[in-house]
Amino acid sequence: MATEVLDFTTEDYDYVQHDGAALKLRLFKPAGTGPFPLVIDLHGGAWNKGDLSNCQGRDEILAQSGLAVAALDFRHAEDGYLACMADINYATRWCKAHAAELDIDPDHIGICGQSSGGHLAMLSGMRPWDERYCEIALDGGPSVDASVKCVGMAWPVINPLSRYRHALRCRAGDGPSEWVNDIPESHDKYWVTDENMIDGNPMLALENGEKVELPPAIWIQGKPDIVHDYRDTGQDLNEPDRFAKNYRDAGGEIELLYIDFAGRESVLSHNPLAVFFRKHLE
């Protein structure tokens, strides 16, 4: 599917404040007349680092395809896993409540993310009504929820617990270790406990039979990729295939697209995301 190349603008908004400090949302908006379908985009960084500027290349491609995009800053590990989930849930509701001002269509909103951001995108899409994620009240405006029409993921850390154990095994010599770096420490700082890695885990939510939302999804995965192409203890499938099977078995629709690892942060991943979102949001 060919996409028309369009001009776009960007504008930053303060969407929420914590302890007097504002978190920003960068809106990429195509040229032309709205309201536009919107994609909320979440950066990676092992839940410990990164900011909305890390989404720039992907968001330019999405905006050029005719989609509005809201790249988010959100709280990191020092505030705990539930803090960023509350920010993302609130940002989704904030965009819907300010749809007229932003020139977006509140009924056609998707969410995406890369690496840890992909994990956050799926978790938010699955649990839009989780009371812990909805804890920030939305002042004024219409009553809205954080549900989304679809979820796009680029090599998400979909199972934090298995990735943590995988990193520790590789560090101990049971597999390539050059990728590990400070991954276990990042997990420790953000998740703190195994129990939290189980709670905030899209893979285990499905396998435990949790009642969750299952919006249409795409998982774009570089290959070969030792960070994701492994088998968890007692599993016959690697993590992408395992999640895709679980999602489909639960009644969801998901596409698993493998691309060349070396070119993954390019149009090889950005263009399929644009096609996916245009299909499900227009």
Q: Is residue 151 part of a domain?
A: yes
Domain that includes residue 167, residue range? 8-281
Q: Is residue 199 part of a domain?
A: yes
Instruction: Quote the pLDDT of residue 1.
Output: 38
Instruction: Quote the pLDDT of residue 6.
Output: 57
Instruction: Quote the pLDDT of residue 162.
Output: 97
Instruction: Quote the pLDDT of residue 21.
Output: 94
Q: Is residue 229 part of a domain?
A: yes
Q: Which CATH number do you get for residue 167?
A: 3.40.50.1820
Read off the pTM.
0.95
Mean pLDDT of residues grouped by 10 in the chain (282 residues)?
A: 66 96 97 95 97 97 97 96 97 96 97 98 98 92 90 97 96 92 96 97 98 98 90 92 98 97 92 97 92
Instruction: Quote the pLDDT of residue 141.
Output: 66
Tokens 């192409």 found at? 229
131-122-2 Cα angle (round to 5): 140
Distance CA(219)–CA(241), nearest Å, equals 10
Q: Is residue 1 part of a domain?
A: no
3-class secondary structure per residue, the chain: CCCCCCCEEEEEEEEEEECCEEEEEEEEEECCCCCEEEEEEECCCCCCCCCHHHHHHHHHHHHHCCCEEEEECCCCHHHCHHHHHHHHHHHHHHHHHCHHHHCEEEEEEEEEEECHHHHHHHHHHHCCCCCCCCCCCCCCCCCCCCCCCCEEEECCCCCHHHHHHHHHHHHCCCCCCCCCCCHHHHHHHHHCCHHHHHHCCHHHHHHCCCCCCCCCEEEEEEECCCCCCCCCCCCCCCHHHHHHHHHHHCCCCEEEEEEEHHHCCCHHHHHHHHHHHHHHHC
Instruction: Quote the pLDDT of residue 268.
Output: 92
Q: For the chain, how many structural domains are there in total?
A: 1
Q: Is residue 19 part of a domain?
A: yes
Q: Is residue 2 part of a domain?
A: no
Instruction: Quote the pLDDT of residue 3.
Output: 47
Q: Is residue 260 part of a domain?
A: yes
Q: Is residue 3 part of a domain?
A: no
69: number of CA atoms within 13 Å, CB side? 32
